[in-house]
Amino acid sequence: MNRDSIIKKVEEFAKSATTEFDSGHDWWHLERVRKLALYIQNLENQGDRFIIELAALLHDVNDSKFRKPGNSEAGTIINDLLSDVGVERKIIEEVNKINKYISFSTSESPDNKSFEFMIVQDADRLDAIGAIGIARAFNYGGFKNNAIFVPELDKTQNRPSTILHFYEKLLLLKDMMNTQTASLLALERHRVMKEFLQNFYNEWYFPAKPDHSINLS
């Protein structure tokens, strides 16, 4: 099978494998990550575009947040799919390695970060920030029935909030990019999130000016 036909098969698989995921992890997330990753590859001029495209399309298919009990076979399904369509073993191994380490929640890194890994990870992280990142965060928070925001007075509730997720993850991502292209793209997306948070606090505490320290670095 030629590379274009392989990509078509993988697209079909990725679409059908993510139908039950929240809208922040659906096909359109995979499509945006693929576009971002290929854009970064083009400017950085590093890494193999075929591996990057496969890994971008498959990177969330095995996400533990959506895996049903007893349905842990996505890794095997990906291996079978790629070898059935004739992808070389070396490429399958690289795609698996990228999928294994890409998650923000995984503290491990592969021993040697390949350009393909760095680029797909940057693309995934870029899609978690900016306007799309804001939309995805609130969508995910709703999916988990988290609070939008838990103000100081309410902290005893101990309920997770989506605003807190900005401080725990989203505002940190701009300094975690692997490539210069992604670091530059992240700056504008970071600014959009800061502006959003400032407006959020202005409206939440209206008519007072928010007086607690909001660290929007």
Q: Which among Ni ion, ligand ADP, none contacts residue 136 (Cβ within 5 to 8 A by kind)?
A: ligand ADP
What's the closest the beta carbon of residue 176 comes to ligand ADP, in angstroms? 11
Q: Which among ligand ADP, Ni ion, none contacts residue 194 (Cβ within 5 to 8 A by kind)?
A: none
60 binds Ni ion (CB under 5 A): yes
Q: Which residues contact 189 (CB under 8 A, 6 or more apart)?
A: 126, 129, 130, 131, 133, 174
Asked whether 77 and 12 are in contact (CB, 8 A), the reply is no
34 binds ligand ADP (CB under 6 A): no
Q: Name the segment binding ligand ADP (CB under 6 A); options: 1-9, 13-21, 48-56, 138-146.
A: 138-146
CA–CA separation, 146 and 132 (whole Å): 19
- Count the residues of the shown chain that bind ligand ADP, applying the rule CB under 6 A: 16
Q: Which residues contact 190 (CB under 8 A, 6 or more apart)?
A: 129, 130, 171, 173, 174
Which residues ranging from 170 to 199 are in contact with ligand ADP (CB under 6 A)?
170
Which residues ranging from 109 to 168 are in contact with Ni ion (CB under 5 A)?
124
32 binds ligand ADP (CB under 6 A): no
Helices (H), the chain: 3-17, 27-44, 49-58, 74-84, 89-101, 115-126, 130-143, 162-168, 180-204
47 binds ligand ADP (CB under 6 A): no
User: Rounded to the nearest 10 degrees, how much is the dihedral formed by the CA atoms of 43, 49, 52, 57?
Assistant: 110
Site residues for ligand ADP per CB under 6 A: 24, 103-105, 124, 128, 133, 136-137, 140-141, 146, 160, 162, 165, 170
Site residues for Ni ion per CB under 5 A: 60, 124
